[in-house]
Amino acid sequence: MAESTYSASDDVVDHFERRWAFVVAGIVAIVFAVIVFTGLHWATQPPSNVETIDASRLHLSGEFVESNLGTALQADGVATVRVIAQQYSFVPSCIVVPTDTPIVIRITSPDVIHGFLIVGTNINTMLVPGYVANVRTRFSTPGEHLMPCHEFCGVGHEGMWARVKVIDKAEFTKLSAGKRRVSCAD
Ligand code: CUA
């Protein structure tokens, strides 16, 4: 064996290896920069509503007290629905909304993370304690939709669901005459 196996071709290999090391380092740097940028961007410009609320006082004061839950027709023509999702039910367990009306659903949780989904629509969000989910929608046809919880929230998760009843606008107006809130019981 020769004393040294080093040759001119090793120099070339070294050169290429170093170049690839820089390329890999560059890719890692780009990926890292994208992670940092998107993290900061989503934190400062969230894709949806970020509204905090004291989850331990929902039933005591503010807009989510029991008498304020259900559907209310506002003066500006928007139907606002307020709902609480808790282990293991939605309150109210049946929501009535009118057709052809802008609808705002405001929903939050006092205990753990729940899921909010209206079957047959694109409404789908997480309900995180301490935050209010604000969903805007509109229904064009009357009908009934299931509203199951879709985040595992404990042993009673599979039994946690509610219904959404979409009724004709005229019928809803008649139903809500003289009432602050409307629910399926009306
Ligand atoms: Cu609430 Cu699953």
Predicted pLDDT at 34:
97
Encode 124-162: b = buried (16+ Cβ within 10 Å), e = exposed.
ebebbbebbbbbeeebeeeeebebbbbbebeeebeebbb
Query: What is residue 28's predicted lDDT score, i.e. its pLDDT?
Result: 98
Q: Are 131 and 146 in contact (CB under 8 A)?
A: no
Please state the length of the chain: 186
How many angstroms does the Cα of residue 95 sit away from the middle of ligand 1? 17
Atom of ligand 1 nearest to the CA of 153: 2
Task: State the pLDDT at residue 174.
Answer: 87
- List the alpha helices (DSSP H) in the chain: 8-44, 169-176
CB of residue 117 inside a 6 A radius of ligand 1: no
Average pLDDT, 10 consecutive residues per value, the chain (186 residues): 63 86 97 96 78 89 90 90 95 93 95 94 93 93 95 95 94 84 78
Expressed in angstroms and rounded, the spacing between residue 56 Cα and the centre of ligand 1 is 18
At residue 3, the pLDDT reads 57
- Cβ contact 170:132 at 8 Å: no
Q: Is 82 in the pocket of ligand 1 (CB under 6 A)?
A: no
pLDDT in the model for residue 6: 66
Residue closest by Cα to atom 1 of ligand 1? 114
Identify whether the C-beta of residue 124 lies closer than 8 Å to the C-beta of residue 116.
yes
Contact 154, 170 (CB under 8 A): no
Distances (CA, A) of 130 to 4, 42, 63, 179: 69, 19, 14, 29
Question: Is the CB of 157 within 6 Å of ligand 1?
Answer: yes
Going from the Cα of 108 to the center of ligand 1, the distance in angstroms, rounded, reads 12
110 C-alpha to ligand 1 centroid (Å): 12
pTM for the full predicted model: 0.75
